[in-house]
Structure formats: C-alpha cells, structure tokens
Chains A and B, each alone.
Chain A
C-alpha cells in the first residue's frame, strides 16, 4: 500500500500514513492546531492551509467544494475532515 508523509508544520512533526488517511484521523493526536466543528464537512471550522503537496490529496467532493467556496477559502485550502492523503508528501498548517 502506498505510504504518504503528512507534515504538521505548527507542531514540527511528520507522520507516515497509509493511503486514504484523512487529516482528521491524525491531527488531534499530534496536537496540531487544526480544530473541528461538525466533522462532517458542513461547517468549515477545519479549514486547513495546504503548504505543500496539494496534488497528493484526494479531490474535493461537491460538498467540500461548496463549503470551501462559501467560506471564501483560498485555492490552497482544504477541509481537514474531508480530504485524504493519497501518497507522497503533504504539508499542512491550521487555516
């Protein structure tokens, strides 16, 4: 199974993760400052800046696209409760 490397910039930590791991599965365990509200992709609380490796994340669903748009997200922002690491390196910090 492809392995991705997910780096949380604000706590200076990289975690090796299997393909398909969502950021939400890891970020709280490492104490990163990404915070969650509904955890279902509706509220936009977990807006996260993708510092590097945007292409190594799963494509946003229609719901995520809508919530990103309504929260005036930048093109490097994603919802940490929704997107998955598909392999390769990804670096994130709280949005």
Chain B
C-alpha cells in the first residue's frame, strides 16, 4: 500500500445495510493495516468477525506472529474488533494500545481474558516506537464513539483514522484516485455518522490538520492518498454547512405544533406570544401538519430551545411529532431546552410522552408540560403565555431560582 505499510483488510461488496441505519449501494471495506518498523511490527485495527480468516491470511502473508509487537485499536466497534480475539489467541504477547475510554469496551469484548493481556491506555501525546518508526496517538473522542482515536505513523506521514473520514464504499482499487466516484458515500457517511458529533468533528480536525498527513487511512472505504487535505477541508464545510442565523446574540426558540380542532394551535400561538415578550429571544412558530419533517431537523440543530404542541389522539402524540422527534438522532440535541404542551379531550397522555422523549434526547425540560382540556379559556391562554415567558427566561438565564421540597416533587409527579 505504501512503503512499510500493508493493507490487510477485507472487502464486503455485498453489504447493503450497515448497522441497521445506513444504506450502501457499493458495500463497504473493513480496513486494517500492518506497519513495519526496524524493531517492531504493528497491526492497526482488525475487521468484522466473518472476515477473520481472510484478515489472518493477509496478516500471515506479511509478518510472522512472533514478529508482531503492537496492536492498535482506534475504535472498539465490532466491525473493527471482530478479529481481535483470534489475533490475540495467536499473538498473546501483543501490547494493545487503546484510548482510555476504550478500556471499558475492551473489557466487555475480552471478558475474563482482559486481565491476561498487556493493555495500555493512551491519549494525545503518547507514542510507541517500532524502532525507526513512531506511532503517535491522538485522542479524538466522539467521532463517533467516546473511545475513538487516531494514530499517526510520524516518519511515514500516514494517519490512521478508523471511522473518521471514512465511508461505506467497496472498491478493490483501494485508493481515492483509483476507485469509482465515492463522493456521495463520503458525504452520506458524514451526515449519518458524524453529524450528531459535529462539535467533536471540528475539534478532531483541529488536532489532526497540523500533522500535514501525506495519506489518510480510514477504517472504511478508500484510502485518501491524493490531496488528503481536501477531505479535511470538506469535513469542515460539512460540519458548518448551514446559512448563519441573523439573530446575533439572541437565543432561538422553535415552537412546533399539530392541531386537530384548533385548540393546540391556540395554545401554540399563546406560548409564542408569551415567549416573544422576552427580549433577546427569537421565537418561530411552525405547523407540522402538512410538513415534511426533514427540513426542520436543520433548524433544530441550530436552535437553543424547542417546544412541541400535540393533541392526544388514541392515548398518544400524533405521528408527525414522533416523525420529527425520531429524526433528531442525526443531530446533537444535548443541553437544548425542551418543552411540551397540548390540548386533550379525555386523557392527555401525549404531553408526558413527548417530554420523556425530549429527556431521552439529553435535553433539559425545566417547565412541566402544559395540558389543557378542550379549548383554552381566557385564563388558560394567560397560563400558556406565562409558559412561553418561562421558557424564554430559561433560555436567557433570567429565570428566578425556585426551591421545592422532595415530597412536593414526588406528590406532583403523582
């Protein structure tokens, strides 16, 4: 593949669905590598379990087991660690280098055998020598698991990035200047795997860009030997691709609603009016009834707060609300403000269900959901406005601190 580096990965051209959530028209590859130094040989990552024999055969054609000194695991997901147990059975002496956060997953993978091996947790700045070659580790968490790291073969200028800068595209020609057109696959992989972590993507790019790598060798898809820096720049564009908001320093609150008879819509308008009373909060109101939810995902990614209005129909929130909420898996929602409200006729379960989902999305939900039986009266409309004001005040940090007793809290939860 390059001087001192051998590709020992596997091609999986028949794969069409990866990890349940991803489609691929061209299959994928599981890239693993051998790096040979004057006083040590390293294996970088492995393959998915069904390809273990193929991986071992390629490895054996390149090096003897007793020559191997180092196993680097840049990411512990099974498609890269499927052959670890088989490799360690043949080379139990290997020093295993893994990120600190990777330890617990490796422990889960190796079970009782974990204690038997020479496992070393590493972070940015740590290195291991292969004689005339040095492997330098870079901690790049959350691209796309907490454990992810990159490894730089310094003297060769080759950066091993595992899932980062990879894609699902299978082509035996291996290199980006030799394979077919994989640009769509590269962007699709970013959108579905990296986008929820784009904050960390930017941090990882900041860390790896100064290395000036001559080649980027990811864990899936083409090896980027022609203009590797162009892929780093493209990741930056993908991570910051939206038109900037003209809101200046103002906080943004998006209110989404669906209404069966106009009651939840009335609530939504009152919540919107209340929130709009607070300075420095930009409030937007959207009716989800006829909408395709996908465009809203982009808006939500940039928003500070989200409120969902839904009636209760057959004891549940309505489908478009669930469609939108389930689409949020592609973006980061942690720490945003969330709220739910809605009108109901009989039981009104929808509001609590939506609140639970918002909490599941790692959002804070400081105001208990607002439910109104049938249409809001004048007093209840004021309650809706106050709800909106409170949400806006939470966003601007103006909410007056409140204090309650645990028994009150438990009683309120019923």
Binding site for B on A (CB under 8 A): 5, 7, 10-18, 21, 26, 28-33, 35, 42-44, 67, 69-72, 94
Contacts and interface: CB of A to CB of B under 8 A. Distances in A.
Contacts, number: 84
B403 A14 contact: yes
B368 interface: yes
A32 B364 contact: yes
A28 B352 CA distance: 12
A35 B365 CA distance: 12
Interface size bucket, B side? 20 to 34
A7 B399 CA distance: 14
B335 interface: yes
B367 A31 contact: yes
B171 interface: no
Interface string B234-248: 000000000000000
Interface of B: 100-101, 103-104, 121, 123, 146, 334-335, 355, 359-360, 362-368, 394, 399-406, 409-410, 413
Given A10-B366, A29-B413, A15 B335 contact: no
Q: Which 9 A-B pairs have the closest CB atoms?
A: A31-B365, A11-B366, A33-B364, A14-B403, A12-B399, A35-B362, A16-B405, A10-B364, A17-B406
A71 B406 contact: no
Chain A CB within 10 A, most for which of B334, B363, B400, B406: B406
Contact of B403 (A13, A26, A71, A94): A13
A72 B394 contact: no
B406 A31 contact: no
A15 B409 contact: yes
B364 A31 contact: yes
